[in-house]
Structure 1
Amino acid sequence: MKSIVAVLMALAISAPAAFAGEISDRAAEAEKALQAGDGPGALEKFRSAEDALWQAMPLGVQNVKQVDTAGGFGIYSERANHIYKPGEKVVLYMEPVGYGYGSDGLGNSQIALAVDLTVLSESGEPLGTFEKIGSVQVASRSHNRELFFKLDLSLDGLPPGKYRCDFVMHDQNSSKTAPFTTDIEIAG
């Protein structure tokens, strides 16, 4: 019995280490190519390590900001505060990572993401859940990693007060999901 437990523990420990080894091995190959003066080859090897990391990582949402405008990846004007007039649109900028790639049927890779929202009162009481309030689809010949998602929210009907918005992003090309949260206030 002890030997079975030892084997299972060894497998549990070695599986993540083996995958991490693949990533670091590819990165080491990139470093060797760079030291040999092969910049393009080094970049190709490094991108191979990045591909392995990207596939292994969970879906995540970084750099969630309430913004006045958003025009591209890293191109936004952050809002000065999180206080809105009744009926005013809430605009969010975010950068998803770790998503999968599908096909658009035309030879392109396709990124497809959707977002659900649950609005909670200041005390944490759920006030409503809304599925697929926003989505983005991008077809490209490349596996783009610099992707921004702009979400325009209309929260008409909310009375003055403070609210928490709990989101769940869904990768349409995998079973990956990622929660994220932001707070807002409707002025009285």
Structure 2
Amino acid sequence: MKSILAALLAAAISTSVAHAGDIADRAADAEKALQAGDGAAALEKFRGAEEALWKAMPLAVMNVRQVDSASGFGIYSERANHIYKAGEKVVLYMEPVGYGYGSDGLGNSQIGLSVDLTVLSEAGEKLGTFEKIGSVQVASRSHNRELFFKLDLSLDGLPAGKYRCDFLMHDQNSSKTAPFSTDIEIAG
């Protein structure tokens, strides 16, 4: 718990000063509850610190992987290489963080994310931009933090060569966006 608390406090230092005090105070309250032997109260207070950090942080995309399959958070089979046959589907696994929560009108929190793609040649020439090539919507009674996004890309028509795929993730519940990239090769 101390290493998690230390990581949370370190992250709090990098957020804005207005939020940093709130995050640190909540984490300190969690530590006090834990020292008093009240694990449930410590966890609840720690979750309050996590909520404050989550709201203050920018949208980011972590653990972007090219995969053969993905069926859940952290449950994926990573692809051996980034070389594809012409017409073969590119499957990406990613873990967004820092997204906002809306409401579905039924008492659930609503997570909504979409992704745009720009394909660039090996020389950096922009070959095309495609908006909202993928999206995810999740309704939940809690503010889920372990969310994975699986994106199936069809890059039919690209000739043999190396390419960079630049993505921009959009949070539908805030103005937050997050760029991320991956390289692929179409075999000749």
Q: Report the TM-score, using the length of structure 1 for normalisation.
A: 0.91
Deviation at 1:21, TM superposition (A): 1.1
Aligned to 2:164: 164
Aligned to 1:66: 66
Aligned to 1:50: 50
| 1:123-142 to 2 correspondences below 5 Å | 123-142=123-142
Deviation at 1:98, TM superposition (A): 0.1
- Aligned partner letter, 2:123: S
Aligned to 2:96: 96
Deviation at 1:16, TM superposition (A): 2.7
Aligned to 2:29: 29
Aligned to 1:117: 117
Deviation at 1:137, TM superposition (A): 0.2
Structure 2 segments unaligned to the other structure (5+ residues): 1-14
Deviation at 1:73, TM superposition (A): 0.2
For the residue of structure 2 that corresponds to 1:30, the secondary structure is helix
Aligned CA-pair RMSD = 0.9
Deviation at 1:85, TM superposition (A): 0.1
Structure 1 segments unaligned to the other structure (5+ residues): 1-14
Computing the radius of gyration from Cα coordinates, the structure with the larger value is 1
Taking only the aligned residue pairs, the percentage that are identical comes to 86
Q: Report the TM-score, using the length of structure 2 for normalisation.
A: 0.91
For the residue of structure 2 that corresponds to 1:155, the secondary structure is coil
Deviation at 1:18, TM superposition (A): 3.3
Conserved? CA contact 2:16–2:56, under 8 Å: no
- Aligned partner letter, 1:89: K
Aligned to 1:7: none
Cα shift readout 1:131-159 (whole Å, capped 9, x = no counterpart): 00000000000000000000000000000
Runs of 4+ more than 2 Å apart: 15-18
Aligned to 2:12: none
Aligned to 1:4: none
